[in-house]
Amino acid sequence: MATWFDESRLDDEQALAGADVRLRWLAESGARVRREAAEAATALDLALERAASSGRPRAVVAAGPDSRLVRAVLEPSCPVPFVAWPSPNLPGWVGSLDLVVVLAPDGGDAGTASAVAEAVRRGCQVVVACPERSLVAEHAVGRDATVLPVTTRDQLAVAVLMLSFLDRTGLGPSADPEDVATALDQVAIACSPHRDVSVNPGKVLALTLADSLPLVWGGSVLAARAARRVAESIRLASGRGALAGDAEHLLPVIEAARQHTVFDDPVDGEGSARPVLVVLDDGADDPVRHEQRNALTRAADERGVRVEVVAAEAAGEVARYAELLLSGTYSAAYLRIGLVED
């Protein structure tokens, strides 16, 4: 069954009410970050005391399937060797000199529980963010093991809690939960369903994506991860294609687009959606990334491909990542609201 985008639904109270659960979840993103930080404050202090008494670890291992965000944040700046290890079995060299951190928002994954048990058995310093009454928590019992209790099952909020621990131990960049929560609150205000399409950046981007093939690019490591998550959200919301990748992967798609002219029929002109380049800008100033962005936008200009920039201005890398991620996720939610079946 064919679908089309009804722009009027973005300001229609009944259509927005039908998506209230999803929009409310997005709006409460900052509150969940604050809640996790507040409820785990005592356990976090204990983990920091143990980290101080143990000294700087030989290496940091992020275990479990949710380790990729920790890797994206720590790899560029961690002062000791860092490894992201999603496998249930830890690397053979990991031992008592190393720190193992684990994100387990739902706490029920058997493979993650196995990795935690192995880290405890080897005498590692272990810090686990998971629900207190969960399979993973049951295996995080030992002299050097600390559970940071979580309740929201929000991957971002749980990650921020762990990243704040790594920040305060000098192993990662700034990751103040309040900074992240403030950035998320600002996005929620700007993209609120009560703001009409003329002043709502989430709705404006949804309009741009409605009849297009989104190509989402982020220059830094964290912006690139946000780009992949945003593209995934767009695919889930629309059932249509959306690509995220490095500049060399997106350039061929832009260059293959037929030159756009004012005479093109918006429906039958090409028989397929034209690409639109969505740049996630977290303010990273790097000559290589600057040149990659110039190459993408130059190719887009030459082929008449539209370019949309989503910029983040929050304090700190993690807060800017969260701002970009939520901005793109809001747009995906509005895209879903506007799409109707013929």
User: What are 277's strand-pairing partners?
Assistant: 215, 307
Instruction: Establish whether domains 3-19+193-341 and 31-176 are of one fold.
Output: yes
Q: Domain 3-19+193-341 is of which CATH architecture?
A: 3-Layer(aba) Sandwich (3.40)
Domain coordinates of the chain in residue numbers?
3-19+193-341, 31-176
Q: What is the mean pLDDT of the chain?
A: 92
| Residue 165, CB-side half-sphere exposure with 13 Å CA sphere | 35
CATH for the stretch 31-176? 3.40.50.10490
Residue 109 exposed, middle or buried by CB count within 10 Å (0-12, 13-18, 19+): buried
What pLDDT tens digit does each residue of the chain (342 aa) get? Answer: 568 899 999 999 999 999 999 999 999 999 999 999 999 999 999 999 999 998 999 999 998 877 888 998 998 889 999 999 888 889 999 999 999 999 999 999 999 999 999 999 999 999 999 999 999 999 999 999 999 999 999 999 999 999 999 999 999 999 999 999 999 999 999 999 999 999 999 999 999 999 899 999 998 999 999 999 999 999 999 999 999 999 999 999 999 987 766 555 554 444 468 999 999 999 888 899 999 999 999 999 999 999 999 999 998 999 999 999 999 999 999 999 999 986
Residue 216 exposed, middle or buried by CB count within 10 Å (0-12, 13-18, 19+): buried
